[in-house]
Amino acid sequence: MQVVRPDTTRPGAVIGEQSLYKYAALLATLVLILWSLDYLNIDIGRLPGIFGRIGEVLATRYFPPKMSRVLHPDYLAAVLETLKMTYLATLVGILAAVPLSWLASSNMTPSRWPGYPLARLVLSAAVPCMR
């Protein structure tokens, strides 16, 4: 019978090391939440009933909607302006994403200089997990 030993030459190979990081991150998150509650002077006893109060506010203030406010010309103009902004932002995002993704892929870029490094720089600044 052959004894199999864990490979200790690479990081994370020791059994339980990842769980230690996980529990340390969980502990740090809990400490941060408790510190935030203390710093903001939030009464923990009031937290369980907050969802009921939020539901009550939504049910009494926002339902049913007051049609006099909804049909007001300023309200409709604000809704239309919001839709215009979302359409424009989506269009700009698509127009920027297509050339950036083309330049950032190493197998599709015709010239690796200067497009590839610049596209990767822009993407790494926009998407932090690429760093």
pLDDT at 17 over 70: no
Over 90: is that where the pLDDT of 86 sits? yes
pLDDT (0 to 100) of residue 52:
86
Residue 32 has pLDDT above 90, yes or no: yes
pLDDT of residue 11: 56
Taking a C-beta distance cutoff of 8 angstroms, is the pair 55, 63 a contact? no
| Token representation of residue 57 | 């506010």
Q: Which amino acid is located at 20 in the chain?
A: L
Inter-residue contact 109 to 116 (CB < 8 Å): yes
